Structure 1
């Protein structure tokens, strides 16, 4: 499947400092940086974006630096975003955008369950591996393998960006590309 900006949504799952603090620094930093770059690109390209916060009363809000390019944040308690009625309604309001780019934490819990549920419901989720993380890298790798076996597309952030842009002649290429160097 080719990733197309006009068919895409970006779903940033549970990037809350309290959850991120339990993730080893290299994976945490990569997930934050790549999620941020994708959110900024999606904002510039007018791709619909949504962030979720797992039980924010106890785990706090999503990171401020990610919220700036994500106009909406929905609180949830379900591990799968698809199983939350408000989030599902938001997604369904964009049913002409069947490709759902998924970033966030934790790869083997909320990201995995959301992607599997979306795939089962007929969406085309794309889990952005280097914009996701888990406390344990082995669990993240296992989840990514399982997703691939289930038919869910797994990609990296830079690939998603360049597929969204599609051509060096794109009017926003010159302004957005430096973030990927």
Structure 2
């Protein structure tokens, strides 16, 4: 499956400091950087994006630097975003964009369950591996393997970005590409 900007939307799952701070620092920094760059690119390319916050009363809000390019946020308690009525309604409203780029935490829980449910519902989820993480890297690896076995594409953030652009002659290329160097 080729990732197309006009068919994509971006779903950022539970990028909250209380969750992110449980992830090894190097991985955490990579996930935050890649998520931030994808959200900025999505905003510039007018790709719909949605952020979720798992039980924000206890775990706090999503990071301000991520919310800056994704003002649409939903609180949830379900692990799979698809199982939350408000999130499902938002996704269905954006149905002309069947490709769902998924970033966030934790890979082996909310990201995995969301991707599996989206695929089952007829969407085309793509898990952005270097914009997702788990407390235990082994559990994240296991989840990525399981997603692959389920036929759900796994990509890296830079690949998603360049597939969204498609060509160096894209009008946004010069302004957005420096963030990826």
Q: TM-score range by the shorter chain?
A: over 0.9
| Residue aligning to 1:163 | 163
| Residue aligning to 1:68 | 68
> Does 2:114 match 1:106?
no
| Structure 2 Cα separation of the partners of residues 17 and 108 of structure 1 | 18
Instruction: Quote how far apart the aligned CAs of 1:61 are.
Output: 0.1
| Structure 2 Cα separation of the partners of residues 121 and 30 of structure 1 | 30
Matches within 5 A, 1:15-164: 15-164=15-164
For residues 141-179 of structure 1, what are the alpha-carbon distances to aligned partners after superposition, in whole Å with 9 as ceiling and x for unaligned? 000000010010100000000000000000000000000
SS of the residue corresponding to residue 38 of structure 1 reads helix
Runs of 4+ in 1 over 6 A off after TM superposition: none
| Structure 1 Cα separation of the partners of residues 172 and 153 of structure 2 | 26
SS of the residue corresponding to residue 91 of structure 1 reads helix
For residues 111-140 of structure 1, what are the alpha-carbon distances to aligned partners after superposition, in whole Å with 9 as ceiling and x for unaligned? 000000000110000000000000000000
Instruction: Quote how far apart the aligned CAs of 1:71 are.
Output: 1.7
SS of the residue corresponding to residue 53 of structure 1 reads strand
TM-score, length of structure 2 as denominator length: 1.00
SS of the residue corresponding to residue 22 of structure 2 reads coil
RMSD, aligned α-carbons? 0.3
SS of the residue corresponding to residue 62 of structure 2 reads coil
For residues 6-61 of structure 1, what are the alpha-carbon distances to aligned partners after superposition, in whole Å with 9 as ceiling and x for unaligned? 00000000000000010000111111000000000000000000000000000000
Unaligned runs of 5+ residues in structure 2 are none
Instruction: Quote how far apart the aligned CAs of 1:105 are.
Output: 0.2
Q: How many residues align?
A: 181
